[in-house]
Amino acid sequence: MSSQERERETASSQAIAEAAAFQSFANGYLREIDPGIRVHHALADGPAAPCVEWSLPSQRMAIRAEVVSPSLCGAQRFGRLWIRHLHEPRWRCVPPMRAVGDLLSEAYARVASGSGETARERELELLGRVLDSYRETARQLDLVSCGPDEEMSFIGAERSLVFGHWLHPTPKSRQGLTHWQARAYAPEEGGEFRLEVFAVAARLVRHDSAGPRPAPQIALELLGADAARLPLRAGEIAIPMHPLQAEALTLEPHVAAWTEAGLVRRIGAFGSPFTATSSLRTVYSSDSPWMAKFSVPVTLTNSLRVNRLAELQAGVAMARLLARSGFGARHPTFRIIHDPAYLTLRAAGREESGFETVFRENPFREGAEQGIVTIAALTAEPRPGRISRLSTLLRRVCPGGATEYSRAARRWFGLYLDCLLEPVVALYEEQGIALEAHQQNTLLDVSDGWPRRGFYRDNQGFYLSRAAHAELLREAPETATIDSLYFEDEEIRRRLAYYLVVNQIFSVIARMGHDGLIGEEILLDELARRLEAMARRMVGAGRDFARSVLEGPALCTKANLLLRLRNLDELATGEEAGLYIDMPNPLSARIAARGEAQCALAS
């Protein structure tokens, strides 16, 4: 490739990344700050362009963004941008990052609190993260993409999220990870690495397991055949660690004190190569029966990725509870991937030592990884010149034209709801357990093109109903000591509506709409009919949830931009207020529109 060709390709990647930065920021702004007004922008070279217009009074200006592909329930896709100051007679084109900066300044003018100096400092810090996310996106666009044999595999899908969360102001921001480290540790680059191992005095180790194997034995299984050659001394336990975290731990004063006392020794890298999943800190090897989830000294989007002790305990408690419930046998098209064991160290005066390690089941090995894809990967915006994974699937199972695509999309959507809507709501109905089933935590088996089985992962994402407290304690008494697990049903319904419906199901509907496979309104009506049937069939918490989603004028959504404007780390703040806001409910709007149409026909 010549230098001129490389320059053109780089410019193209930069332009695509800049447009992606605007799209993610503007969608958050539209949902959380200002929905704007819908207008048409006159063009000299064609019909007027449909736009959303935002007034920015703090800057005495307005921005218009062309809406090239609207959505009733998901992200809008934007095209050209124009800006006009109040003293100017006409609109002029503006580059995406300039528009992001203007929207960001207006957002701070409207919602930021504190002194002017503090607010400005936060504004510049967020702008820096937006730029960091843009640069990382551009860099990843230049990487060699995965091969066709990886396209529909578990790890291939995990590595594919070039643009990140579609509704986050800094979707690819990574603080604490250099480019040379990313080559080994970032999922998109497919790097592999061995785990670092610490030999620790057994009296320091804290662990638990919901299964027949204790956590120290699981740690050895994670290391495979290399476990036999670990230079352990009598009374020592091996703790495998992510290399990034291992390096950070050696600089911690409490770890240095343990090392000096001979209680902790870093003994080197062992085991088979692992690779990062989409979360970066959960690692996978097709050779291992376990995955591991570590703390890492990296801030992704807006949160430092740290395992909390309560989350470790919750993973074990929920593995025990769900194993005793028999839910899996009653719902064979859905599987919860357990985090049934953990290892950490006791550190005086500290809740967490930094060694907190979660062991997760790995069902995706020995050929079972083929066709396993996260909803996030299926619905992600494709790289330029390609089609989405979801469109790829539907074209494989239905090589016909537009009519056949629409029919196949409708059938695919129904099977998807069988795998990921029905069982998740049934778990809440039968057990009083709700899941944080957003698009990155849910996976589908689409090995033959059609959804056949759903999966859920994450020890951070369980909500237990206070109304079912007595029954849940009988099954898992240890949940009594984990206050963060229990919620009132009203709050559970709100959060489940966000994670399951707004974040996950609406992303599928929007993806099919943007890809031209089927109209969004058809799928919204299909979802409404499914929820109506569930509400008639169920009698408890599931029924109340279905009705709340169907009938409420608003649905809960995550306030990702507002959290960043307030400089909050949602994983560290401990505060629930401000994490969620309301958005208009497209389902109840569709139901109301159908009712009005029927009344008009009747009259």
Residues 350 and 229 in one domain: yes
Q: What is the pLDDT of residues 52-62, one digit of tens each?
A: 999 999 999 99
Any residues with CB less than 8 A from the CB of 200 and at least 6 apart, and which? 236, 237, 238, 239, 258, 263, 264, 265, 345, 355
Query: What is the C-alpha to C-alpha distance for residues 477 and 595, in angstroms, rounded to an integer?
Result: 48
Report pLDDT for 7.
Answer: 45
pTM score above 0.85: yes
**In this structure, which amino acid lies at residue 56?**
L
Report pLDDT for 113.
Answer: 59
Report pLDDT for 143.
Answer: 81
Q: Is 44 in a helix, a strand, or coil?
A: coil
The CA-based angle 343-346-352, given to 5 degrees, is 75
CATH number of the domain that residue 134 is part of? 3.30.310
Residue 44 pLDDT class (50, 70, 90 cuts): confident
Per-residue CA distances from 453 to 124, 423, 425, 448 (Å): 45, 10, 15, 11
Indicate left, alpha or beta for 40 from its phi (over 0: left) and psi (-120 to 50: alpha). beta
Q: Which among 461, 456, 487 is positioned nearest to 472, based on CA atoms?
A: 487
Strand partners, 199: 238, 265
Q: What is the pLDDT of residues 457-516, one digit of tens each?
A: 998 899 999 999 999 999 889 888 888 899 999 999 999 999 999 999 999 999 999 999
Is residue 568, in this structure, part of any structural domain at all?
yes
Residues 379 and 305 in one domain: no
Q: Which among 587, 482, 486, 484 is positioned nearest to 545, based on CA atoms?
A: 587
The residue segments making up the domain with residue 132 are: 3-141
Lowest-confidence pick of 236-245, 300-309, 405-414, 589-598: 589-598
Is residue 309, in this structure, part of any structural domain at all?
yes
Query: What is the C-alpha to C-alpha distance for residues 494 and 305, in angstroms, rounded to an integer?
Result: 25
Residues 403 and 473 in one domain: yes
Q: Which among 60, 66, 58 is positioned nearest to 33, based on CA atoms?
A: 58
Is the pLDDT higher at 278 or at 302? 278
Q: What average pLDDT does range 246-253 have in this prediction?
A: 96
Count of domains for the chain:
3
Indicate left, alpha or beta for 388 from its phi (over 0: left) and psi (-120 to 50: alpha). beta
Per-residue CA distances from 513 to 66, 68, 253, 396, 522 (Å): 17, 12, 54, 18, 10
CATH number of the domain that residue 515 is part of? 1.10.510.40
Residues 349 and 461 in one domain: no
Q: What is the pLDDT of residues 269-298, one digit of tens each?
A: 999 999 999 999 999 999 999 999 999 999
Q: Which of 317, 341, 361 is the last residue of a domain?
A: 361
Pair of tokens at residue 4: 């001129």
Residues 211 and 325 in one domain: yes
Residues 259 and 189 in one domain: yes
Q: Which of 141, 157, 187 is the last residue of a domain?
A: 141
Report pLDDT for 167.
Answer: 82
Q: What average pLDDT does range 254-277 have in this prediction?
A: 97
